[in-house]
Structure 1
């Protein structure tokens, strides 16, 4: 049997993205955009003044969620995303700002358009499930 070719599909979205270095850049771009762009102000308001802890937690979570190392669960156990986000008022506006910010970060990082679209669709399902208020 021959070795896998370079054209073989990646085993996970984590692999397809390019691993930890790319996930870290994506997360950093996401938070840079959130911090700088007025269009994400409602989303930014839900976060602490320093985004360092948020950056690390999203990076650790996304690594595992995308099929890579389970950094988040090794540190904190099951993500319990909805329960951990219940203290924050998350409505359609906050959901949409999160998704728009992540979509822009994916574009800015040069992520393959097909992969980015699949990720945005998956992110939508999770982000929509996180809503805990109207509007």
Structure 2
């Protein structure tokens, strides 16, 4: 079973056990967007509340906001994704991650969905 947690906005968060987590978009999100051509990643050091827009993804079909699944401060961004936005399509759950955060309220993770609950959402 995956450690990833999911938001209803099709963003995943993988906690690392040390108060940090990695964030990206789900397979459903990249399917809905189509070919990703640009990602606007947050600045390292930026702080976001849960639900705030932290990044933007642009595809050949549309642009979409990436909502912060849990409050925190950005520790790193995926420069490989910035250089090759198609990673969001080819490897959305691993190499296509967006950013890493220091969680400011780890209890917010309890509000996110596990893989089974996410899969049960109407897509």
How does the TM-score come out when normalised to structure 1? 0.25
Structure (1/2) with the larger strand percentage:
2
Please identify the structure whose Cα radius of gyration is greater. 1
Structure (1/2) with the larger helix percentage:
1
